[in-house]
A = this chain, B = another copy of it.
Amino acid sequence: MSKKIYVHLADDHQILIEGIIAIINTDEDIEIRGYSLTGKEVIDWFSKKGNSADVLILDITMPLLDGFEVLKYFNKNGIRQKVIILSSYDDIKIVQEMLSLGCSGYISKKSAGEHILEAIKAVAGGEQYFSSDIQKILLKSFAGQQVPAGAAPNKFLTETLTDRELDVLKLITEQLSSPEIADKLSLGISTVETHRKNLLRKLKVKNSVGLAMYAVKNNIV
């Protein structure tokens, strides 16, 4: 009856891939069109002529390139791909960042399998889909944003990190000191310390340990 929906899967856990394939195969309207185990594979697959999918189901944690980078790549290259994030992270910052990068859905790995099918159909039909736990988080974040009347907060995200800040943050998690980071990135020590200060402020943490914890929780490392 309805046209088939083509799906591409991306997750570094092959067991999960196989499981989702098994779940999707129970639905006649949806068909798998390949899968990828790393972010780089995703980009390679979509770059190859003839390869396409109505919906990409994308994990965040992946080697080589993570989910963030994949979406950034799509945006940078003008690729309008419908993407559902499938993640175990329910951090509001991550969900918001993914939304700002243009994903059409976000479902938690805690969800039941049928929700994947629902999500695929909704997103393929041009709607958005969020699993119930993600919906709660989003609602809570909106509720918490009780802005004083008159203010005009037009940014959806909390402050985003710049590329350079991410470079520094990654090296911090590798236990490098500021002088060492400066050396590695060929920067002045002052510059690295400036990035550190901005990271502390943006992420609202107290010290380098807080930065590391943030990086781990948000899978930047």
Q: How many residues of A contact B (CB 8 A)?
A: 34
Chain A contact residues: over half helix, strand or loop, or mixed? helix
A208 lies within 8 A of chain B by Cβ = yes
A188 lies within 8 A of chain B by Cβ = no
B-facing residues in A14-42 (Cβ within 8 Å): 14-16, 18-20, 22-23, 37
Identical chains in the assembly = 2
Residue of B nearest to A221 (CB): B213
Are B16's CB and A112's CB within 8 A? no
How far is A20 from B216 in the complex, measured between Cα atoms in Å? Answer: 27
Are B16's CB and A23's CB within 8 A? no
Are B18's CB and A16's CB within 8 A? no
Q: Which residues of B contact A109 (CB under 8 A)?
A: 13-16
The answer, among B14, B16, B61, for a CB contact under 8 Å with A15, is B16
Q: Which residues of B contact A177 (CB under 8 A)?
A: 207
Further pairs besides A19-B20, A175-B207: 11, Cβ < 8 Å: A12-B110, A13-B88, A14-B109, A14-B110, A15-B19, A15-B23, A18-B22, A19-B23, A173-B209, A175-B205, A175-B206
